[in-house]
Chain A
Amino acid sequence: MMSVPTTFRVIDLRVSIGVDAIIRGISMDFFANTVTSIMGPSGCGKTTFIRCMNRLHELVPSIQVSGDIVLFNQNIFSVNPMLIRRQVGMVFQRPNPFPTMSIFENVVAGYRLNGIRLAKSESSQIVETSLLKAGLWHEVKDSLHRKGAFLSGGQQQRLCIARALAMDPSVLLLDEPTSALDPKSTSHIEDLIAELKESVSIIMVTHNIGQASRVSDYTAFFLAGELVEYGTTQKLFTVPDDPRTEEYLSRKFG
Chain B
Amino acid sequence: MHSSLGTDAKLSRRVLQDRLFKLILVGVALGVVLLLTTIIGFVIQQGISVINWSFFTHLPQPPGASHSGILNAILGTLMLTVLASLISIPVGIWCGVAMAEHPLHPLVKWAQVSVDGIQSIPSILFGIMAYLWVVVPMGQFSAVSGAVALSMIMLPIVIRAVEEAVRRVPTTMREASLALGVSPFRTTIKVVIPCALNGILTGSLLGVSRISGETAPLLFTAFGSPFLVISIFQPVQSMPILIYNYATSPYADWQQIGWGASLVLILFCFVLSVGTRWVFKR
Contacts and interface: CB of A to CB of B under 8 A. Distances in A.
B60 to A, nearest CB: 47
Number of contact residues on B: which range applies? 20 to 34
B36 interface: no
A158 interface: no
A54 B177 CA distance: 13
B178 interface: yes
Contacts of B195: 98-100
A92 B183 contact: no
B176 interface: yes
B172 A114 contact: no
Interface in B189-239: 190-191, 194-195, 197
A113 interface: yes
A204 interface: no
A163 B180 contact: yes
Interface in A161-180: 163-164, 167
A148 B171 CA distance: 18
B179 A113 contact: no
Contact of B180 (A61, A83, A85, A99): A85
Contacts of A112: 190
A217 B186 CA distance: 37
B104 interface: yes
A151 interface: no
A163 B175 CA distance: 13
B180 A167 contact: yes
A100 B104 contact: no
B173 interface: yes
Given A113-B182, A115-B186, A160 B176 contact: yes
Looking at B173, B179, B183, B187, which has the most chain A CB atoms within 10 Å of its CB? B179
Contacts of A84: 181
Contacts of A90: 175, 179
A160 B104 CA distance: 30
A98 B180 contact: no
B178 A114 contact: no
A114 B186 contact: yes
A100 B173 CA distance: 11
Interface string B156-188: 000000000000001111111111111100110
Nearest to B191: A98
A112 B189 CA distance: 12
A114 B181 contact: yes
A94 B104 CA distance: 26
Nearest to A93: B172
A59 B172 contact: no
A86 B183 CA distance: 11
Nearest to A173: B179
Given A98-B173, A113-B190, A113-B191, A89 B178 contact: no
B181 A100 contact: no
23 contacts: A59-B178, A82-B183, A84-B181, A85-B178, A90-B179, A96-B170, A96-B176, A98-B173, A98-B177, A98-B191, A98-B195, A99-B173, A99-B195, A100-B195, A109-B177, A110-B180, A112-B190, A113-B180, A113-B187, A113-B191, A114-B181, A115-B186, A164-B180
Given A56-B175, A59-B171, 10 more contacts: A56-B178, A59-B178, A61-B104, A84-B181, A96-B175, A98-B173, A100-B195, A113-B186, A113-B187, A113-B190
Interface of B: 104, 170-183, 186-187, 190-191, 194-195, 197
9 tightest CB-CB pairs across the interface, nearest first?
A: A86-B181, A85-B181, A110-B180, A90-B179, A96-B172, A100-B194, A113-B182, A96-B176, A82-B181
